[in-house]
Amino acid sequence: MWGFVLRRLVWMVPTLIVISIISFIIIQLPPGDYLSSYIARLEALGTTVDQATIDALRLRYGLNDPIWVQYFKWLGNIVFDGNFGYSFEWRLPVSQLIIERLPTTFLVATCSLLFAWSVALPIGIFSAVKQYSLGDYFFTILGFLGLGIPNFMLALTFLYISNRYFGLSIGGLFSPQYLNAPWSLDKFIDLLSHLWIPVVIVGTAGTAGLIRITRANVLDELRKPYVETARSKGLHPMLLILKYPVRIALNPFVSSMGFILPGMISGEVIVSIVLNLPTTGPLLYAALLSQDTYLAGAFVLMLAVLTVIGVLISDILLAWLDPRIRLS
Amino acid sequence: MSVTAKPLPIGGGSVRGAPVESPLTLMWYKFRAHRLAVASIWVIAALYLTAIFANWIAPFDPESRTGLPFSPPSWPTVMVDGEFVWPPVAFGVSQQLDRKTFKRVYAIDTSKRYPVQLFIAGDRHSWFGLFPTDMHLFGVDKGGAFFLMGTDSLGRDVFSRMVYGSRISLSIGLVGVAISLVLGVILGGISGYFGGWVDLAVQRLIEIIQCFPSIPLWMALAAALPHDWTTIQVYFGITVILSLVGWTDLARVVRGRFLSLREEDFVMAARLAGASEARIIGKHLLPSFMSHIIASVTLSIPSMILAETALSFLGIGLTPPALSWGVLLQDAQNVNTLATAPWLLLPGALVIVTVLAFNFLGDGLRDAADPFSRESFK
């Protein structure tokens, strides 16, 4: 088991390097460097910037270095100092902005994942056991609808319905009075009352796929002879299903986390822009529009890195559940 | 009693009375059993025909302002005062300003009736610059108007805009998938053919790309497209960005099929019979994984369409004057507009229908791709 974990950890290194290169490319992509857009902004405000200051700044940020030196400096700062650069839009270190926003994104994404799982598992089992029943068709269609409706459309519809019929504003994660309040039970309840909306919206997209995976796996198991044997021996049907086929069908459930988690993060980003949640979405969006490149690059980097870690955890979990994987 | 030896029929015909069908026929039988997939073909065909002949089908020019902003959807009716009329008629509409709320109110004037006509003159248009004409598939005489999906804030007909927008929305999926397919077949083929460390490297790359959250990546890349690009350039820029992620699934399918087919007996038989490598690939391998590729391609079109819609909706994909369903949904971005004109969400319904149709079709094709498996659909 430990050998497996170690192997996976070593495998992560090239992945992380590629991710960092992609993020660095994103920082470098917009025309000009961030300093020129910073200077353009200063000049738009009426401040004149003399050439000496510009040169000093270029030197300080190492913009005259070859591109790969810049990359290693950028990466070195992150790895050794936790320094992601400076956001010119917010006049704050990027790390500070990221720390505020990343946890909420992962809170919403994780809750969405749990939601999708807890909805998909019973439905998947039901659809398999009662194959081609009315309920099976109903849930299949419902799942497909969840797959077909873009996340942001669902968010907009929620916004519209709550505004039109309940007169509520559902944006944000907290009511105004709790926004800056210290943590308390009331604040937690308030959070939950806001949290379920993005969780349901983001979760529905992943549910359809999970239902189909569960259904297919349980169906495969149900056809195996041991099920017949157990049934002929008079084992209670419910107990039989829950004890054997479902347990085996659970494995792909865990492994599917690898491709569902990135989707959840993606969904969270776009839904939070529509609902204006205090997560990465709106900030990343604003950073991209104002070419606040260091902030945008850092967000993309951290979202990807944390997703990779999430996938790693799911792999380890799977290996722990299924010895065939860790021994192969 | 004499027994005449007959040669065994090859391909078609029958063996000992049992009919032998070609794999293609078997696929068709299997595909036909998936009724949703068959229905989806019609839906998709209708959508693409609408996109191709958008300029005739749309009753208005997508940019023409009718002077009736935020007019709710109105449909011609066949029942007037309890009597059946044919052709259907659209009533006259007059607008007033509510003096209390300063909202526009549209009143229906049943005394003015405009019968719906086919092939009627309207805004001038042309088919991609060819065949200039002013003929529209349907409409009413000048003075009257009906808006199947309402109008937007500038009084433009949402239905016409949706019809025109389908050109970009529906084609971006095809172009994007075509680029992904080329990338996927090349990289997947190389991966499966060479094996060893090349295979390992390509597989790792695919894994890395697949665990990248795609929306943030797409957003970052799309936002970096130069602002002075023309619509056409942005269009291809976006498709290339979407394909950068989209090729991975196809590469996996190609590689998987390649690896499993390489070991098949019929490939060995062909090789022993002295077939050249090119003949084996072209005559034996390609037909047997073509069906799988077609199914995977169909299944990856909807995610492209969804991605374009999401990016354009956020304003970092295509932007007006380009028209796509995502661009139209930009108008529905804030709650206040939605509260006044919920019909601005209707382009989203079209997205859902399209995505579902492609999913069902892909599902049916995937089941049919392997006509020899005993598994029925689902």
Are the Cβ atoms of A269 and B213 closer than 8 angstroms? Answer: yes
* B6: pLDDT strictly greater than 60: no
Write out the DSSP string of A70-88.
Answer: HHHHHHHIIIII----EET
Q: What residues 74-103 of chain A have any CB closer than 8 A to a CB of chain B? A: none
Q: Which of A147, A270, A296 sits opposite B310 (nearest CB)?
A: A270
CB contacts, 8 Å: B328 with chain A: none
Which residues of A are less than 8 Å from B345 in CB distance? 153, 156-157, 160
Express each pLDDT in B81-125 by its tens digit.
Answer: 777 877 787 777 777 777 777 777 777 777 777 777 777 777 777
B-chain CB neighbours of A157 within 8 Å are 345
In terms of pLDDT, which residue wins out, A256 or A126?
A: A126
Q: Is B359 on the interface with A (CB under 8 A)?
A: yes
pLDDT at position B9 over 60: no
Cα–Cα distance between B350 and B158 in angstroms, integer? 12
- Structure-block tokens of residue A86: 């400076």
Q: What is the mean pLDDT of residues A151-166?
A: 82
Domain ranges of chain A: 31-83, 101-327
Return the pLDDT at A79: 81
Mutation target for B interface from A106, A266, A295, A306: give the one with most B CBs within 10 A: A266
Per-residue model confidence (pLDDT) at position B1? 44
Q: How many CB pairs below 8 Å do chains A and B form together?
A: 139
pLDDT-derived band of residue A107, with 50, 70 and 90 as boundaries? confident
Phi, psi of B192, deg, nearest 5: -75, -30
Q: Which of A160, A288, A300 sits opposite B338 (nearest CB)?
A: A160
CB A203 within 8 A of CB A115: yes
The verdict on B196 touching A (C-beta cutoff 8 Å) is no
Cβ contacts of B313 on chain A, cutoff 8 Å: 150, 152
State the smallest CA–CA distance between residue B347 and chain A in angstroms: 10
Of all residues in chain B, the one with the smallest CA distance to A312 is B211
DSSP B59-116: SS-TT---S-TTPPP---EEEETTEEEEEEEEEEEEEEE-TTT--EEEEEEEEEEEE-
Q: Are strands B104-115 and B83-97 parallel, antiparallel or unpaired?
A: antiparallel
Give yes or no for residue B376 having a pLDDT over 50: no
> Tokens 């139209």 belong to which residue?
B328
The conformation of residue B344, written as its DSSP 8-state character, comes to G
Tell me the mean pLDDT in the region A33-46: 71
pLDDT of residue B91: 79
Shortest Cα distance, chain B CAs vs residue A59, angstroms: 25
Mean pLDDT for all residues in chain B? 80
pLDDT band at A168 (very low <50, low <70, confident <90, very high): low
The answer to whether the CB atoms of A288 and B220 lie below 8 A apart is: yes
Which domains, from first to last, does chain B contain? 65-156 (no CATH), 162-377 (1.10.3720.10)
Give exposure, A15-29, as e/b (b: 16+ Cβ within 10 Å). Answer: bbebbbebbbbbbbb
* B205 contact A CB<8A: yes
Is the domain defined by A101-327 classed in CATH 3.40.30.10? Answer: no
Q: Residues A173-198: what's their mean pLDDT? A: 78
Contact assignment for B214 to A262 by CB distance below 8 Å: yes
Of B204, B214, B348, the CB nearest to A150: B348
Phi, psi (deg, nearest 5) at residue B317:
-105, -120
Residues of A in contact with B215 (CB under 8 A): 265-267, 269-270
* Nearest CA distance, B107 vs chain A (angstrom): 22
Report the gap between the CA of B103 and the closest CA in chain A (Å).
16
Q: What is the pLDDT of residue B298?
A: 85
Q: Is B214 near chain A, with CB under 8 Å?
A: yes
List B104's β-bridge partners, or say none: B97
Q: Comparing A166-180, A285-299, B184-198, which segment has the lowest mean pLDDT?
A: A166-180
Q: Is the pLDDT of residue B378 over 50?
A: no
Predicted local distance difference test score (pLDDT) of residue A31: 67
Residue type, A254: V
- A144, A296, A311 ranked by CB distance to B220: nearest: A296
The per-residue pLDDT for range A230-270, each reduced to its tens digit, is: 888 888 888 888 888 887 777 777 777 777 888 888 888 88
Across the beta sheet with B77-80, the strand order is B77-80, B83-97, B104-115
